Amino acid sequence: MATKPYFYQKDRLELRDAVRKLCSQFSLDYWEEHDRTGTFPDEFAQAFADAGFKGIIIPEEYGGGGGKIGDLLAVMEEVTASGGGNNASSSIQIPLLCVPSLLAFGTEEQKREFLPKIASGELFVTFGVTEPDAGTDTTQITTTATPTDGGWLINGTKVWNSGALVGNKVMLLVRTSKTEPDGRKGDGLTLFLTDLQVPTIAIKKIPKIGRNAVASAELFISDHFVRPEEVVGEVGKGFYHLLHSLNGERLILSAVALGMGRWAVENATRYANERVVFGRPIGKNQAVQHPLARGHLNLLAASEVLKRAAEEYELNGPGAIGGLANAAKYLATEAAFAASDDAMQVFGGYSFAREYHIGRHWIESRLQRIAPINNQMILNYIAERELGLPRSY
């Protein structure tokens, strides 16, 4: 029996049904094949764009659907609940991550040029933020933009750039000036939306243990020229502009995790009803029932926090939900991994057989506890910002 959505709102049932119908055209074997061969799911990504789902949070005046963040979260939960996992969600969400920052701080020309192309699937924008030696400490990035005639020259290295092999543009966060002694740590960083597939940016694929249909890569940037019109927002304030997208990213990832956890609970429950050992379905055993029931409850609880975060986002904007966005990400990803791990236990030895798809979900749900921010850093944030404890890092 199919489970109900966790991020549940009655006025989005038709939207969910439409997404479910589209996703049903792409089987578990489709996702297994693309993960095994490391090939991007072009057919799925384009079908998703053609159906209008990729532009759901882009205003109608820029070629989108004019929906709210809650609409996108409902869509993303259904995508992963269909069994596509992170390969499916990443092929959709990566270009959308830049949208909140672009809407809030981009010029009218930038919005009219890029947003319709993102909505149609013509433009795939990646995020170039993380660096090998900075990691989570974003304010310490060393990729620099040096002034030159007519613009800047960017030099440096970015890592874990998801989608770089198929991307057209990259939103780069780089240092344009040093932080003043009396300034904030995030000062002096600037966002650029620039071309990706160019001779001045070398792309090296990173071999991974999972989510292989959407490659991750290192970017080696050498004297890459950017013009003033490629700046998003104010020079030197890019770190703060980026936060608009990062809080939204946490909500999207929370919905993705809910869908993956939902898939794990649903499929483990089905298997527990079907699998007969010692003359009875294994689902009769409390040792099987209790983890599945606990997984359902944990996902349900996380969904309530996500719902509250989405409401605050829609009411007050992405800059006002730091605590809730981090809370939703932590609770949903922890619940999803626990559900996937329990599903592995229910399937027993068969969980290691790729034909059951459990292991693929287990690996991908483990990733969500690490990226785009690891859950220990979220606990640090909550301890400091919500509880008033001394900063620990």
Note whether residue 34 is domain-resident: yes
Q: Residues 274-294: pLDDT tens digits?
A: 999 999 999 999 999 999 999
* Average pLDDT over the chain, rounded to an integer: 94
Q: Give the pLDDT confidence score for residue 185 in this predicted structure.
A: 83
Q: Are residues 261 and 233 in the same domain?
A: no
Give strand pairing partners of 169: 125, 195
Rounded mean pLDDT, 313-325: 92
Q: Are residues 186 and 97 in the same domain?
A: no
Of 17, 7, 12, the C-alpha closest to 82 is: 17
Q: Are residues 247 and 364 in the same domain?
A: yes
Q: Are residues 65 and 143 in the same domain?
A: no
In this structure, the dihedral spanned by the alpha carbons of residues 237, 242, 243 and 245, taken in order and rounded to 10 degrees, is 150
Q: Is pLDDT above 80 for 40?
A: yes
What number of CA atoms fall less than 13 Å from residue 207's CA on the CB side? Answer: 0
Q: How far is CA 64 from the centre of its chain?
A: 20
Cα 167 to Cα 197: distance, rounded to the nearest angstrom: 7
Final residue belonging to a domain, choices 87, 120, 153:
120
Q: Give the pLDDT confidence score for residue 186 in this predicted structure.
A: 87
Residue 330, token pair as written in the block? 């932590």
The CA distances from residue 320 to 46, 69, 133, 139, in Å, are 33, 14, 29, 20
Q: Are residues 138 and 165 in the same domain?
A: yes
Residue 53's CATH number? 1.10.540.10
Judge residue 388's burial from the number of C-beta atoms within 10 Å of its C-beta, 0-12 exposed, 13-18 middle, 19 or more buried.
exposed
* Helix H or strand E encompassing 33: helix 28-37
What DSSP line would sit under 114-162, residue for residue? Answer: HHHHHHHTS--EEEE---TTTTT-GGG---EEEEETTEEEEEEEEEEEE
383 DSSP 8-state letter: I
Q: Are residues 211 and 100 in the same domain?
A: no
Give strand pairing partners of 190: 174
Q: Give the pLDDT confidence score for residue 1 in this predicted structure.
A: 46
144: containing domain: 125-238
> How many domains is the chain built from?
3
Q: Are residues 211 and 311 in the same domain?
A: no
Residue type for 81, please? Answer: A
Percentages helix, strand, coil for the chain (3-state, rounded to 5) are 55, 15, 30
Q: Is pLDDT above 80 for 9?
A: no
Q: Are residues 20 and 69 in the same domain?
A: yes
Q: Are residues 62 and 169 in the same domain?
A: no
The beta strands (E) that lie in 238-323 are given as: 276-277, 280-281
Final residue belonging to a domain, choices 96, 120, 144:
120
Final residue belonging to a domain, choices 94, 120, 146:
120
* Helix H or strand E encompassing 39: none
Q: Is pLDDT above 70 for 104?
A: yes
Note whether residue 178 is domain-resident: yes
Residue type for 328, please? Answer: A
Residue 33, token pair as written in the block? 């094949």
Q: Which tops the pLDDT comparison, 80 or 2?
A: 80
Note whether residue 4 is domain-resident: no
Q: Are residues 152 and 97 in the same domain?
A: no
Note whether residue 297 is domain-resident: yes
Give strand pairing partners of 203: 219
Note whether residue 2 is domain-resident: no
Cα 250 to Cα 136: distance, rounded to the nearest angstrom: 14
Q: Residues 175-205: pLDDT tens digits?
A: 999 887 677 888 999 999 999 999 999 999 9
The CA distances from residue 73 to 172, 297, 319, in Å, are 25, 19, 18
Of 30, 77, 28, 71, the C-alpha closest to 53 is: 71
pLDDT band at 135 (very low <50, low <70, confident <90, very high): confident
Q: Give the pLDDT confidence score for residue 243 in this predicted structure.
A: 85
Q: Whose structure tokens read 């939902």? A: 262
Decide if 76 contacts 87 (C-beta within 8 A).
no
Cut 0.85: pTM above it = yes
Note whether residue 108 is domain-resident: yes
Q: Which tops the pLDDT comparison, 134 or 87?
A: 87
Residue 166's CATH number? 2.40.110.10
Dihedral pair phi/psi, residue 142, rounded to 5°: -115, 0
Q: How far is CA 97 from the centre of its chain?
A: 8
Rounded mean pLDDT, 87-115: 95
Note whether residue 391 is domain-resident: no
Note whether residue 376 is domain-resident: yes
Q: Are residues 62 and 158 in the same domain?
A: no
Rounded mean pLDDT, 30-57: 96
Q: Give the pLDDT confidence score for residue 183 in this predicted structure.
A: 74
Cα 212 to Cα 40: distance, rounded to the nearest angstrom: 8
Q: Give the pLDDT confidence score for residue 10 in this predicted structure.
A: 66
Residue 289's CATH number? 1.20.140.10
Residue 88, token pair as written in the block? 């499916």
* Residues whose CB falls within 8 Å of the CB of residue 102, separated by 6 or more in sequence, listed in order: 110, 111, 114, 115, 193, 232
Cα 368 to Cα 364: distance, rounded to the nearest angstrom: 7
Q: Give the pLDDT confidence score for residue 381 in this predicted structure.
A: 95
